[in-house]
Structure 1
Amino acid sequence: MTTALEEIAQRGRALLAAGRLEEAEALVRPYLASGSGPLVLWRVLADAIRPQGKLAETQAIQQMLVACAPGDLAARFNLAETLLLGGDFQRGWREYHYRYGMAHTKNLERKVQRPRWNGQPIPGKTLLIHDEQGYGDTFQFMRMVSWAKARSGARVIFEVNGETLSLAHRIAGPDEVIARGTLPPAFDVHCELMSLPMVMRVELADLPGPVPYLSADPQRVEKWRRRLADLPGMRVALVWAGRPTHVNDANRSLSLAQLAPLAQAGVTFLSVQKGPASAQADSPPPGMTIVSLSDEIQDFEDTAAIVSVADLLISVDSSPVHLAGALGRPVWVMLPFVPDWRWLLGRSDTPWYPRTRLFRQPSRGDWGGVMASMASELARLTHE
């Protein structure tokens, strides 16, 4: 590639980093108008048009990039997310298998000296299923441990992060639950939790399976029932920001001030927000009655109990959504114009969780449109 094209690619990347997607697209398109050109510019174009919702063209470019450079695992992962977003689970799960080929994910991969389970019956054998990514991913895919148990006929050991260990002890399927970082018993085959859909060839029609598949601790539920008993009106748990270190956090997180249109009589909001953003509950928008529970929440057992007592959870795309969904509780999710792959496209419901509603940005960056829709629905609920 010539120096001039290298400079174009660098300028394009700088525009992408600044969120100036249309400018990045306009910059590189002339160099690709013939249908050919350096792959690095095609990558810039794909990254510029995908967040704009031009997904058919994005997928075509990503498929070309994978065909031209099959060893580019980041390209394969990007294609996987686009395929899954479009509901093409079979191809999507296969490409998603390459999720550990990137610089920022290699340290997450487990080097297991046993073969990966291939989805076939293995009676008399022991299958180790191990979780791998964020808490929300673990909550979302825990449902498949029981599916793997039924499919394999094996003894199933489920290895899970310590923060969700107690919840995992109450799910159906595993014969034994162990904490990540401990030495597992002997096993014959293994499978990453999020590779179960690939090996079991999960389709949209297979979802959601039995819900709820998680349960809250009865003692914690009773504790929070007493704690919240005197709060007036409809009790709505609230999360407005995700984990700041998440790669896509700027696209999914808000400030509490942006939720001002939700404030209305007859609703008491419960802040279950964790992290630095939780301090915003100390200065809520005018008219919003909010009780901050953030400092009282010690672990996911508390969060599970709170959403079990609350009437509704309203949240950005974060782990409490998946926890509440897995508990079978009502959830409203605020989504960006082009969301994470698991929320699919063009629908207000989700096959993953029957009692979850999706409120999508009508155009890129339009959180105001999301708030207007949610405020209207919330007012309708409070007056029923």
Structure 2
Amino acid sequence: MASTSQLHWVVGDLRISVGPSSSDQPWSLDVDVTRASTGQVESMLWDANAPHGLIRREVRPQALQKRAPAFRERDLLILADQGVGDIVQQWRYVPSVARQFRRVRVQCRPELQRLLRRQSPEIETMASGESRDDSADVHVSIMRLGSLSRDSSRGNAYLATHRPKPAPGNGRLRVGLNWITSNVGVAADVKSLPPVLFEHVLRDYPGVDWVSVQWGDDERWLSRQPWAATVEQLGGTFADVADLADGIAGLDLLISSDSAPAHLAGALGVPVWTLLSRPCSWRWGLVSPTTPLYSSMRLVRQTKQGDWSGVMAQIHRMLASILRLSGQVNFLLARPWEDMPLDAFDERATSRPDASGGNTIRSTSLDEALRICRENADWRAAFVFYPIALLEALGVPVWGRDYSGLAKVFKAMVDCHEGFSWCTPLRN
């Protein structure tokens, strides 16, 4: 990394370097992660105001909107070059941002275009390699829209499909399955789970109509398994993401790895149980079984790195609860399993602690505040959702161009999450 690096450290096979944004953006850091054994390098950007994700960094960084434009004054190009799940998640911000511009274009992969046009016909879509006759006034990654607009969805459904949900016919639950999150890369090993783990679930619950929504060639594996003979295989019928969304909209419940189908279900308001690796994507926090991103989603987490047996045991118990309740999926979603507490992370992170309270946590320095967040489980869980707001609540504000402080905050995020979901965990 360049000499502007503010912080670097080595953990296991990974060298992490952090420094000021090369595009001179406040609240943002350049992050480079190098794997020593292979020489592979990930060059990314971290935005402290949208702290749950890392954005691939461009060689020539595009300008981010720095002020609100005059009403419908300018053109906007949204760069949607992330994974399908990321783009679905971030689409919640697009309508409110788009209303500020005269013309809006979204540059994305072709298989997403039909779904996105359904949501906002006035927004133009274009392929990543498509030439542009005229350049936009403002370019922004879709992953940074959360720093430009509030989430008006409040976790409720914000995507629509053209296929109405079928009326219940035989009284059986229609439950979808998805197990592979990526065909290539380390994420496939970390976040995906072997489909054979579903064998006992399918055998134990023959009264469920099981449906595969696994898109691509991976679904063919089911055809060779006698225990999967009754599974309806929809994945092979999907031509694009719009078809995938239509298939998910026809389910009563989806059980999925951390992948695009899980995001689609959440964005459509379809109940979904998302199976999470350890470490998992930062967006899911640390311990909560729920997420503010999607009110219809429940998170089922690995308790031991690489071990899916506990996750599948939890799925067994949850399915048993559903069937005892005569298929009332929403009832189970309204009360998470095992009476797990749902802490008010949002309120805790954005409210200053009461100075008169006996349990007030005081801090006199950024290092001390970060130590508190690392060591206290409740504060740690709040910190990873809203790091800047929580530090301000602790009396230690970090400013947009305090790159040294932001680098320390980023390192604390890595430590609290025990790594990244797309690479070897930093800590076992």
- In structure 2, the gaps of 5 or more residues are 1-6, 23-28, 35-40, 326-428
Is the 1:260–1:285 Cα contact (8 Å) retained in structure 2? no
Is 1:345 the equivalent of 2:277? no
Within 5 A, what are the aligned runs for 1:69-218? Answer: 73-75=31-33, 89-90=48-49, 92=51, 96=54, 99-100=56-57, 109=58, 115-123=63-71, 124-150=73-99, 152-172=100-120, 175-180=122-127, 181-184=129-132, 186=134, 187-198=136-147, 200=148, 206=151, 208-209=153-154, 211-218=156-163
Task: Indicate which of 267, 273, 278 corresponds to 1:332.
Answer: 273
Task: Answer 1 or 2: which has greater strand percent.
Answer: 2
d(CA) in 1 for partners of 2:108 and 2:302? 34
Task: Indicate which of 290, 305, 311 corresponds to 2:231.
Answer: 290
Task: Indicate which of 2, 7, 10 corresponds to 1:43.
Answer: 10
Pairwise CA distance, 1:154? 4.5
Query: In the alignment, residue 32 of structure 2 is paired with which amino acid?
Result: A
Query: In the alignment, residue 74 of structure 2 is paired with which amino acid?
Result: K
Pairwise CA distance, 1:91? 7.3
The aligned counterpart of 2:183 is 244
| TM-score normalised by structure 2 residue count | 0.61
Secondary structure of the residue that 2:288 maps to in structure 1?
Answer: coil
User: Identity rate of aligned residues, in percent?
Assistant: 30
d(CA) in 1 for partners of 2:90 and 2:230? 35
Count of equivalent residues = 302
- In structure 1, the gaps of 5 or more residues are 1-38, 48-60, 101-108
Pairwise CA distance, 1:121? 3.1
Secondary structure of the residue that 1:348 maps to in structure 2?
Answer: coil
Structure 2 vs 1, CA of residues 208 and 148 (structure 1 numbering), >3 Å: closer, same or farther? same
Is the 1:242–1:317 Cα contact (8 Å) retained in structure 2? yes
Task: Answer 1 or 2: which has greater helix percent.
Answer: 1
Task: Indicate which of 241, 259, 272 corresponds to 1:300.
Answer: 241
d(CA) in 1 for partners of 2:176 and 2:294? 18
Structure 2 vs 1, CA of residues 91 and 234 (structure 1 numbering), >3 Å: closer, same or farther? closer
d(CA) in 2 for partners of 1:260 and 1:92? 38
Secondary structure of the residue that 2:76 maps to in structure 1?
Answer: strand
d(CA) in 2 for partners of 1:251 and 1:182? 33
d(CA) in 2 for partners of 1:91 and 1:210? 16
Query: In the alignment, residue 364 of structure 1 is paired with which amino acid?
Result: Q
Is 1:374 the equivalent of 2:315? yes
Is the 1:208–1:354 Cα contact (8 Å) retained in structure 2? no
The aligned counterpart of 1:57 is none
Q: Deviations over 1:14-53 (max 9, x none)?
A: xxxxxxxxxxxxxxxxxxxxxxxxx99x423485xxxxxx
Q: Deviations over 1:89-122 (max 9, x none)?
A: 52737x945x32xxxxxxxx4858x743225234
Structure 2 vs 1, CA of residues 284 and 330 (structure 1 numbering), >3 Å: closer, same or farther? farther
Query: In the alignment, residue 181 of structure 2 is paired with which amino acid?
Result: G
Q: Deviations over 1:132-154 (max 9, x none)?
A: 1111111111111113124x354
Structure 2 vs 1, CA of residues 357 and 327 (structure 1 numbering), >3 Å: closer, same or farther? same
Secondary structure of the residue that 2:10 maps to in structure 1?
Answer: helix
d(CA) in 2 for partners of 1:327 and 1:216? 8
The aligned counterpart of 1:258 is 197
Secondary structure of the residue that 1:236 maps to in structure 2?
Answer: strand
